[in-house]
Structures are given as C-alpha cells and as structure tokens.
Structure 1
Amino acid sequence: MLHLATTSAQPLATPVPDTSLAERLWLSVVSLGLVGLSVAAVAPTLLRDTAFWLGLLLLSAGTLGWSWLKFGRGPAGVRHNYLWQRGSTSRGVVAWLTAVALTGFYIVLYWWPQYLENLIRPLDGLSQTLRRKPADQWFLYGTFYTLAVLLMGARAYLKYRHSPYHRVRTLSVVFFQLGFAWLLPGLLLALQKPEFYFSYFWPLKYDYLFPGTVEYLVRDGQALGVFMVFWGAAMALVATPVLTYFFGKRWYCSWVCGCGGLAETAGDAYRHLSDKRRGAWRYEVSIVYTVLGFVVVTTALLWLNTYLGGTLLGRLSDEFSRTYGFVIGSVFSGVVGVGFYPILGNRVWCRYGCPMAAYLGLLQKHFSRFRITTNGGQCVSCGNCSNVCEMGIDVKQYAQRGEPIIRAACVGCGMCATACPRGVLNLENGPRQGRYQASQLIQAESLRILS
C-alpha cells in the first residue's frame, strides 16, 4: 500500500508546460471580453451597449489571436499533448465551471429570458437591419451560436489546415450556419414570410412535418410556403436516403448540421471525453432510437388525428408536441447537449438524443456505401484513433483486426484517419458488396484454424 501511495504521488514524466506569456495575454483579452458581456448583462442602459459591443469585440479578437498563436504558427494536425492533465480538458475544475456556465445560460435562455434583456437589446439594430423586427432571446442565441461557430471554426481551420478534407468540412459547416441558419431565416422574416431553416429537416426539426406547421407555412408563406413544405418533405424522405446511400451520414452530420457544426468547432477540444465503454453504447442505442420512435409515432398520430377531425387525440395532440419540445428540444439538445461538452464530450446530443442521427445511422449501417477501411497489418495500437472519436467508437479494436468500421454512430468526421500515424484508416464510398468482407474473412479463417 505504501508503495502504491508513493507511486501515485510521483510527478509526471513530462510535466505540463507553463503557458507562454503571449498565450496568457490573448487569453486575458478573451477574459476581458467575457467580463464586458457580464457587465452589460447588469449595467444601466447608458453603459449597456458599450459594454456589450466592447466585450464582443475583445472576445472575438482574443479568440482569433489565441487560435493563431496556438495553432497557426506551429505544425498542423491532431495534438493529444496533455489533454488528460489540463483541468480544462480532463473534467477538472475549469471544465466543471465551464459546464455550469453553459448550462446556466441555456436554462436562463429557455425559461427566464427576461434576465437576458440587457444582452438582447443591444442587438436591436442588427435585428432590425436583418429581420425588420426587434431582437428577442432566439436572435441573441442564434447570433452567439453563429459567432461561436465562426470563431472556433477559424481555430479548427488553423489546427487541421494540412488536411483538404477538414479544411473543406470546416468551411462547409461555417457556411451553412452563417448563411442557412442565421442570415436566410432573418431575411425571410424581413420579407414577412415564415421563418424557415432550410438546413434542418425532419426528424431533427420534428415539427416541420407536423400538420399544424404545414398548415401555417402554406397559409402564411403562400407559394414560398408550399415550396418550404415540399423542400422539408423531399429532403427528409427522398434526398436523405439517397445522399446517405452514397456518402454515409457525414454529408449531414459533419458538413451541414448546425449541431454538428458547433460540435466540430467549439467542441473540438472535448472530443476525447466521449465514453468508449460498451455500457455507454447500450445507453446510446436504447435512448437515441427511443427518441426517433417517439418522433415518428407523434408525427403519425398527429396526421391521423387531423384526418379524423381531432377525434382521436383531441387536445392531447398539442401535448405530444409540447412534451417533446420540452424534454428533447430544450432539456436534451440545449441544456445537456451543449452544456455538458466539457464533461461528456462534444457529441452528447448527436450520440444519445438526435433523431436525425438515429435515422441517418440506420440508413448508413444497412444501406450505405460508406465505411472506414482499415489495414490491421500496419496498426501499432497507439490508440490515437479511439482517443479522437467523438462518437465513442473504439476504433483501435477494428484497426487491430483489420475490420472495416461500419457503425450507425459514425459521423464520418475523419478525425481517426487524420490522427493515425501509419495511414491505417481510410474513409471510402465503395460498392456495398464486400463491406463486411474483411471481418467475414477473419471469421472464416478463425473457424478453419479451430476446425
């Protein structure tokens, strides 16, 4: 026991290096920006706007400056250095404080937005210019969300600039978040049309195929509204299966989706925290497909209720959608999905709660041409691939056996292939025949040896 205690007290063989003076200066600018936003949240009207915009400017400049210093000047690529020794990335005090702050913001945003008035009102001018209406809590949230993707997208671009795949992927999620999830819905409101997100589809945007939403879009949007309904239905029921057949779920989860965009940019530092244990996988399967089933059943019941003139569910039809919106749309995707980044990893929502990820996953596993091929003969079992997998897949186990990785959870981010020092892993869109060929050959060889 004494020996164990003595051993555990020994210092690290390679201690965590001290933060450089330049890095501290940039992080201080970030901190001043957060202080400015905090002051704006409680300041009187005369000081509010100045503190808000100054805080936002300092936060943006500090983040970009720190990103350039940290990732733009040195070699590009995946870096595992000291991730499990730093408090910010190893569920330490800094990580828990960050999680509490993010969770607290989401709780206030969803249920007590009146306490955010001082942060909402400075955006009135921008909202009037873009949407022709005053700012509200959702415009504040959308602006902060988009800014996070832009700033941390610059960080991701600098960090993985050596990889054409990651450069294009990062630019793609930034483009769809800025253009399709922030600018375009605002312009639709300015034109007095229904707010509509062309980059979100059923079942993720679950109400887009609800009877009430369809009626609202057709009534208020007229010809454009009819196109919105067609777009939503066609993307969910036709384009999604076709695109997933050719490219796997990565075409959406890693290239288009705003949830995935935030995870791949702002959440990149936490990807190694995803639970790789088999028990976590069991929870994942049981929860995410339950959520998908709930959306499918709710949508079907609402349409049946509408067809029967409301005699099937009556007022319960509204309760179905409200229940889902509160439990899944607010608590899970917002409070837990983003607030728990520093504790559970950056794809908590995508892994355990997103119905679109479940839908895409079923298509990917059973019908898609996409897979990650491996060359077990070159694997050195370093574990880099498993460490960077944000979806909790123990990639190393597949690589050691030379088996292709065909998992419903895989979002095709490609980070495992990027982190591999031997080029063992490759993302491919090959013919469906032979997807399991490597594993089948191994099983056949094992049976031959045993017999």
Structure 2
Amino acid sequence: MSSSSAAGLALAQPPLPDVSAAEKTTLTVIGLGFLALLVAAFDADADRARLSLYAGLALSSGAVLVWSWLTFGRKPAGVQHNNLWLRSSTSRGAVAWVAAVVLTGFYVLLYWYSSPDDQGNFGLLNGLVHTLDPFSQALRQRPADQWFLYGTFYTLAILLMGGRALWKYRHSRYQVIRTCSVMFFQLGFAFLLPGILQFFQQPEFYFTYFWPLKYDYLLPGTVDYLVQNGQALGVFMVFWGAVMSFLATPVLTYFYGKRWYCSWVCGCGGLAETAGDPYRHLSDKSRQAWRWEVRIIYPILGLIILVTVLMWLNHVWQGAILGPAADGLYRFYGFVIGAVFSGVVGVGFYPLLGNRVWCRFGCPMAAYLGLLQKHFSRFRITTNGGQCISCGNCSNVCEMGIDVKQYAQRGEPIIRASCVGCGMCSTACPRGVLNLENGPREGRYQGSPFIHADSLRILS
C-alpha cells in the first residue's frame, strides 16, 4: 500500500471522541487503586499492607462504578459500540496485549507459584493473601489462601463490572435481570455459601457447579470425602451434584436451552458477561473457527467422561485397572483443562480472542448442554428476514462466534449448540428481528413470523 493510500485510509476513519475530564479523573483513580494493590503485595508490614489493600479496593471499586455511570448512565439507553474497533484496548492493540499479559501472568502465579509452604508462605502472592486473613477468619474461621484471594477478586470483578452492565443495558429488561442473576449466584452461592459451610466445619461445596464442569464432584475420592466429612449434609451434596448433572440439567435445558446455566448461573459465564463484555465482539465468526470449536470441545467432554468412568472402575476394583496411574490421569486433566485452558487461556486471553474462549472451545459443561440444546430443547432464536437491514450488529455482539446476520437475512431460526442464549443479538438489533423463544418442538427448524404463546421476547 502506498503512503498516499495509507494516509487516505487513516483520514477515512472517524476520530475517537475526546475523553471528558471526569472520565480521565476516574480512570486515574482506578490506576491509583491498582497501584495501592501492588504496594499491599510487597509491603512487609502486615498492617500497612492490609490498609493499602482495602484502600486500593475502595478506590478502584468506587471509581469503576462512577466511570460506568459517566460512560453509560448519562447517555441515551441502547447498545452503543463506542468505537470498539478503533480503541487499542478493544481491538487487539497494544493496550489489549498488555492487559492479556497481566491477566495471564496473574493466573500463572496463582496456579503454579502460590502453593503454600510449611510456614504458610504463598510465594509472590503471599502479601496479598495474608492481607485478607481477617476477612477470611470472619467468614470461614481459617486464614486466607490463594484460592480465597482469587475468589474475592473474581467476585468483586463480577459485581463491579455487573454494575457497568446494568448501566449499559438498562433499556433491556432481560439483560438487567440476567446480569442481576449472575451477580446473585456468584456472590451468594459461589462465594459466601462455601465460606459459611467451612465456618460450621462442613466441607467446602459449590452448589452452582456440577459435573462435568466441576469434574471432581462425582469422582470417587471427592464423594468419599464429602460423605465422611459432611455426614448427612455430605450425602446431600453428592445427591445434589448427581441430580443436577443427570436429571435437572436435561429437564431445564429441554425447556430453556443452555442459557438457564451458561448465562444465568455459571460463574465462568458470569465473569464473561460482566468483566468480559467489552471484548465480546472479538470472537472469531469464521467457519474455520467453528470447525476448531467442534474438534476441541467434544473430545474434551469425551475425555472427562472417560476419566470419570475409569476412576470409578479403578475404585470399584481397588486399583486393578489403573493402579497408581489413576491419580496421574486425574492430575493431567486438572492441569491441561482445569488450569491451563479454563484459567490461563480462558480468562487471560479475553482482550485478544473474546470473552467466551473457554465456554466456546473447552468447557465440557457447555458441550453437554449444547448437545441437549441442539437435539432435544424447545429453545431457539427466531428471525424475521423481511425486517433485517443487514447492519451486522447481531453478529458483532455474538460472543460465541455465530454469524447471526446470515440467519437473520434468510429468516431462519438459530439453533446452534454453542449459543448461550445471552440475548445480546436481539438486544442490539434495531428492528426487532430476533426473538428468544421456548416454543413447541414441532416446526422448530422452520422460520416463525410470530411469537409463540410461551415464548420469551427480548425487550430491546
């Protein structure tokens, strides 16, 4: 490309709007909050480190909420793309790469460089972990560890960025309720309740995670641990996990599709829908990406099924099948899928590959729900091709890499195993072309020019 052509292309791009002084101030405060967290991480004085941590969390949390209101609350309601493809932070630019490196580095430290030694030292995260000791003692009656630190930051990210989502999508009743749902389940069931169980000397248990996502909950070692240490409550935990995995999940997916879990309950989805929302447009919509999705996610589901079956057979026959290799098989899956894929890649690559990398390519629960949704569910997204203006808003906001516009142009219903039912395509459509429905299975693969009586229309 010649220099004159490049200059002409640069001139053709609209300039980014100026950032107001108020927004710059809040961004500065957020930066100061993160700086205070760094001070807490490396300050040898425990009291001063704790003060720095709480000051940093207060500064960054308050500033994020104020920034969200300044950015979205003062503007007219509606999905606004806000020059996403022009900003370095949301178009795989330098800022996005820095963010990806920081996130990936944090997960690497968390998984492999923060295991405690005999003195309770958590490596490079030791300072941050121990600043939360009073909070952990109050909630769980035990000192903090690296996973309590992670859970605290994880929950705070969902709550704060959930507040941002509420401002941004306040015009859509569906999005508001859905966002409140993931915030509620993360705070109540994935953070507070496990801590309360530990406070009363019961096994830590997450009622919103089931097999095959929480793969160890139905493995022999975990089942024995829950029954022996939780007694009656432990038996209920095992029963709950089995019922939710094999009975409730198929029933709920039949009626509502995989959205009942992936977009309303799951903590992984909750982080993707809140903290990952600025990156949803980065998901690859190509057919090649879809082929890789199929090649990866279903073998992972098959692998955890195989691991579960082999572990139980090995348990029943007292090690006659795998022997000591059983523990190695379990650790291999936990390392490759549970740590590298779901953590390091699944979250660390948000700014580069979009917010649903793990859900789209690796999550065995998403694969399980997707098969049910594709072949047995009443759920679909209906389209009205006569009203479609081919603006592409629906495809741009689809975090699962579905080219929604192609379906809308043809007036075909969208029945895809990967669709998590977030409803953002319908919320972003300026013509009301797309509707999420739970209609009868008869005629499910045919276009529907009207809304069925028991369907759920997205208010946009």
Structure-1-length-normalised TM-score: 0.96
What's the % identity of the aligned pairs? Answer: 70
What are the Cα deviations for residues 220-244 of structure 1, in whole angstroms up to 9, with x where unaligned?
1000000000000000000000000
Q: Does 1:318 align with 2:327?
A: yes
- Tell me how far apart the structure 1 counterparts of residues 401 and 306 of structure 2 sit (CA, whole Å): 28
1:43 maps to a residue whose letter is D
Partner of 1:301: 310
Q: Secondary structure at the match of 1:10?
A: helix
- Tell me how far apart the structure 2 counterparts of residues 4 and 17 of structure 1 sit (CA, whole Å): 25
- Tell me how far apart the structure 1 counterparts of residues 32 and 436 of structure 2 sit (CA, whole Å): 42
- Tell me how far apart the structure 1 counterparts of residues 325 and 247 of structure 2 sit (CA, whole Å): 30
Please list, as runs of the form range in 1=range in 2, the aligned pairs for 1:398-413 lying within 5 A after superposition: 398-413=407-422
Q: Secondary structure at the match of 1:203?
A: coil
Alpha-carbon offset, residue 88 of structure 1: 0.4
Alpha-carbon offset, residue 51 of structure 1: 1.2
Partner of 2:31: 31
What are the Cα deviations for residues 197-225 of structure 1, in whole angstroms up to 9, with x where unaligned?
00000000001110111111101100000
- What runs of 5+ residues in structure 2 fail to find an aligned partner? 115-122, 449-460
Give the one of 422, 425, 443 matched to 2:431.
Answer: 422
> What is the RMSD computed on CA atoms of the aligned residues?
1.2
Question: Is the Cα contact below 8 Å between 2:374 and 2:416 reproduced in 1?
Answer: yes
Alpha-carbon offset, residue 319 of structure 1: 1.0
Question: Is the Cα contact below 8 Å between 2:190 and 2:206 reproduced in 1?
Answer: yes
Alpha-carbon offset, residue 2 of structure 1: 3.8
Cα distance, 1:12–1:33 mapped onto 2, change above 3 Å: farther
Alpha-carbon offset, residue 12 of structure 1: 3.7
Please list, as runs of the form range in 1=range in 2, the aligned pairs for 1:341-420 lying within 5 A after superposition: 341-420=350-429
- Tell me how far apart the structure 2 counterparts of residues 93 and 407 of structure 1 sit (CA, whole Å): 34
Alpha-carbon offset, residue 36 of structure 1: 0.5
Runs of at least 4 residues off by over 6 Å: none
Alpha-carbon offset, residue 5 of structure 1: 2.8
- Tell me how far apart the structure 1 counterparts of residues 263 and 82 of structure 2 sit (CA, whole Å): 25
Alpha-carbon offset, residue 47 of structure 1: 2.5
Give the one of 264, 282, 294 matched to 1:285.
Answer: 294
- Tell me how far apart the structure 2 counterparts of residues 166 and 192 of structure 1 sit (CA, whole Å): 38
Please list, as runs of the form range in 1=range in 2, the aligned pairs for 1:7-406 lying within 5 A after superposition: 8-45=8-45, 46-113=47-114, 114-406=123-415
Question: Is the Cα contact below 8 Å between 2:280 and 2:354 reproduced in 1?
Answer: yes
- Tell me how far apart the structure 2 counterparts of residues 346 and 261 of structure 1 sit (CA, whole Å): 10
- Tell me how far apart the structure 2 counterparts of residues 100 and 10 of structure 1 sit (CA, whole Å): 28
Question: Is the Cα contact below 8 Å between 2:383 and 2:447 reproduced in 1?
Answer: no
What are the Cα deviations for residues 323-359 of structure 1, in whole angstroms up to 9, with x where unaligned?
0110011111000000000000000000000000000
- Tell me how far apart the structure 1 counterparts of residues 12 and 233 of structure 2 sit (CA, whole Å): 62
What are the Cα deviations for residues 84-107 of structure 1, in whole angstroms up to 9, with x where unaligned?
000000001110000000000000
Question: Is the Cα contact below 8 Å between 2:412 and 2:447 reproduced in 1?
Answer: yes
2:222 maps to a residue whose letter is T
- Tell me how far apart the structure 1 counterparts of residues 112 and 13 of structure 2 sit (CA, whole Å): 48
Cα distance, 1:31–1:3 mapped onto 2, change above 3 Å: closer
Alpha-carbon offset, residue 13 of structure 1: 4.5
Q: Secondary structure at the match of 2:414?
A: coil
- Tell me how far apart the structure 2 counterparts of residues 279 and 317 of structure 1 sit (CA, whole Å): 36
Alpha-carbon offset, residue 8 of structure 1: 4.9
177-186 vs 308-317, greater mean Cα deviation: 308-317
Cα distance, 1:434–1:342 mapped onto 2, change above 3 Å: same
Alpha-carbon offset, residue 304 of structure 1: 1.0
What are the Cα deviations for residues 102-136 of structure 1, in whole angstroms up to 9, with x where unaligned?
00000001111111011011100000000000000
1:27 maps to a residue whose letter is L
What are the Cα deviations for residues 414-441 of structure 1, in whole angstroms up to 9, with x where unaligned?
00000000000000000011011239xx
What are the Cα deviations for residues 128-176 of structure 1, in whole angstroms up to 9, with x where unaligned?
0000000000000000000000000000011111111011100000000
The alignment covers a number of residue pairs equal to: 439
What are the Cα deviations for residues 383-427 of structure 1, in whole angstroms up to 9, with x where unaligned?
000000000000000000000000000000000000000000000
1:92 maps to a residue whose letter is G
- What runs of 5+ residues in structure 1 fail to find an aligned partner? 440-451
What are the Cα deviations for residues 181-200 of structure 1, in whole angstroms up to 9, with x where unaligned?
00000011111111000000
- Tell me how far apart the structure 2 counterparts of residues 6 and 294 of structure 1 sit (CA, whole Å): 49
Alpha-carbon offset, residue 4 of structure 1: 6.8
- Tell me how far apart the structure 1 counterparts of residues 12 and 91 of structure 2 sit (CA, whole Å): 15
- Tell me how far apart the structure 2 counterparts of residues 6 and 367 of structure 1 sit (CA, whole Å): 52
Alpha-carbon offset, residue 258 of structure 1: 0.1
2:432 maps to a residue whose letter is G
Question: Is the Cα contact below 8 Å between 2:388 and 2:409 reproduced in 1?
Answer: yes
Question: Is the Cα contact below 8 Å between 2:129 and 2:145 reproduced in 1?
Answer: yes
- Tell me how far apart the structure 2 counterparts of residues 225 and 280 of structure 1 sit (CA, whole Å): 42
Cα distance, 1:298–1:13 mapped onto 2, change above 3 Å: closer
Cα distance, 1:213–1:5 mapped onto 2, change above 3 Å: same
Cα distance, 1:369–1:47 mapped onto 2, change above 3 Å: same
What are the Cα deviations for residues 286-332 of structure 1, in whole angstroms up to 9, with x where unaligned?
10101100000100111111121210110111111110110011111
Q: Secondary structure at the match of 1:437?
A: coil
2:35 maps to a residue whose letter is V
1:317 maps to a residue whose letter is A
Partner of 1:444: none
Alpha-carbon offset, residue 80 of structure 1: 1.2
